[in-house]
Amino acid sequence: MQDAARAACVSHAFLRCWRFYPNIGFSNLTVGCNGVLTKAETSRKFASKVNQVLKNHSGIGLKTIKLEFLGHNSSDCSSLNSWLRVAITSELEELSLVLSSEVATYRFPCSLLSGLRGNSIRYVHLSGCVFRPVVRLSCFKSLMNLRLYHLRISEDELGCLLSSCSALELFSFGYCNEITCLKIPDMLQRLNDLQVVGCNDLRVVESKALNLSSFYFGGKRGQISHGEQLKNLTMPHPRALDNAHAMLPTSMPNLETLDISLRLKTDTPMMHSQFLRIKYLRITVDVYSFPHINDYISLVPFLDASPCLESFYLQVAEPMEHDSIFRDPSPLRRMPGHRHDKLKSVKIIGFNSAKSLIELTVHIIENAGSLESLTLDTADCSLGCSDSETERCSTLGQSTLMEVPRALFAIRRYVEGIVPSTVKLDVLEPCARCCNAS
């Protein structure tokens, strides 16, 4: 009886605490919907669990609501509406609704955001739904972080939404196929970070936000206008710069950090202008380029066009056998007249025996008078190798393991002997566990 009384007291105390619990999150994992269940069973179990939990919550004091409902059906729309009615109050700060991206059928009830509801919202993440705001949403005046993915939303509706977010600092946007022109209004004076991913139909990104400093563009192609104030630019798709690299210095003169993916060719054009302020340059060579031609010495014009460059990071592609320096005994090419006097740190990930890569490395050593450190990582060891005896190292491909000895021999033969004593040379290779795991 005493144990039963104690359990009852604890249960009532827990229930009272739960009714005002500030942070609630639901996903297939948290409600126990594993892969064994069918889509219909998953939908029923998810809805049942969420209904049971929210039924016991007062809605008072709720700060964060996260709904990740990946197995929903069209019949679940009424349940979603009821959950959002409970969650969206004047106290809510974070709202996350992630639905299946296959077909966006659920229409988000924008009426819940009207008036005083959601007046304190700081973070919104919507994915996999129809979002049709037709009037400005005053409740978003405090919104700082907005993430929209896989939405059905028009350009006018998106413009209406953005005009409601005067305090916005980060805007992440992707996979919205109705958008071909993304316009960022000048009223977003606090916006400093813009991220665009997976928008293959997007043609133009026009930003008038005066304080925008960082831009991540994951599309294949697109014209970027009004980027004069940008300091950090990331473009991971190799096609994004097929015809744009020559215009970047003039359209974005204040860039300090540039992270791009390239397809190298023997006829890569020269740079006709300069990245006058870039201090950090990261280049990832596209591993799927065809025909497979990676002439790394063609990167010298990028270095030459960056007179203030201090750090250079290069992720290289896996070499073809015919690229190896041991199959081409001709003298190394030199590019005289190119100096990189402020370059201090260079790191090459995936270093191999490709002749043009050896030529680039030798060129940097001979022409970077301020060089302090040179890291040649033969297998991305900084990510693959584990310091813990209980954790496994990353599995390396057989071709990578076969290339490592050639890369190490090339370093000893062509690089080590010309590195000045003032430069710290780090050569990284897979550990024994990496080789055994592979």
List the domain boundaries for the chain: 1-168, 263-381+393-437
Question: What stretches of 54-203 adopt beta strand conformation (E)?
Answer: 64-69, 94-99, 123-127, 145-149, 170-174, 181-184, 193-197
Strand order in the sheet with 204-207: 181-184, 204-207, 223-225
pLDDT of residue 136: 82
Contact predicate 233/258, CB 8 Å: yes
Amino acid at 137: L
- Alpha-carbon distance of 275 to 410, in angstroms, equals 32
Per-residue pLDDT, 389: 56
Structure tokens at 201: 């139909």
Q: Which two tokens stand for residue 398?
A: 């057989």
Instruction: Give the per-residue pLDDT at 267.
Output: 46
Which pLDDT score, from 0 to 100, does residue 150 have? 94
CB 149 within 8 A of CB 124: no
Cβ neighbours of 391 (radius 10 Å): 9
Q: What is the pLDDT at residue 9?
A: 58
pLDDT value of position 12: 61
Looking at the DSSP bridge assignments, the partners of residue 261 are 284
Measured N-to-C along each axis, helices 77-87 and 39-55 cross at an angle, to the nearest 10 degrees, of 30
Both tokens of 145, joined, read: 């972080």
Output the pLDDT for position 94: 95
Report pLDDT for 229. Answer: 86
| Residue 191 pLDDT | 96
Hey, what's the torsion of the CAs at 255, 259, 265, 267, to 10 degrees?
A: 0
Cβ atoms of 298 and 359 closer than 8 Å: no
Q: In the prediction, which pLDDT does 402 show? A: 84
Per-residue pLDDT of the chain (438 residues; tens, 9 = 90+): 566 556 655 566 666 666 778 899 998 888 877 767 777 888 888 888 888 888 877 778 889 999 998 876 766 788 899 999 888 888 899 999 999 877 788 999 988 887 666 678 999 999 999 999 988 888 898 999 999 999 999 999 999 999 999 999 999 999 998 999 999 999 999 999 999 998 778 888 888 999 999 999 987 776 777 678 899 999 888 777 664 554 565 678 889 999 988 877 654 545 545 788 999 999 998 766 544 557 898 899 889 889 999 999 999 877 665 578 988 888 999 887 788 999 999 999 999 999 999 999 999 999 999 999 999 999 876 655 555 554 555 666 677 788 889 999 999 999 999 999 999 999 998 866 655 555
Protein fold of 1-168:
3.80.10
Of 404, 411, 413, whose CA–CA distance to 426 is shortest?
411
Which pLDDT value is given to residue 139? Answer: 83
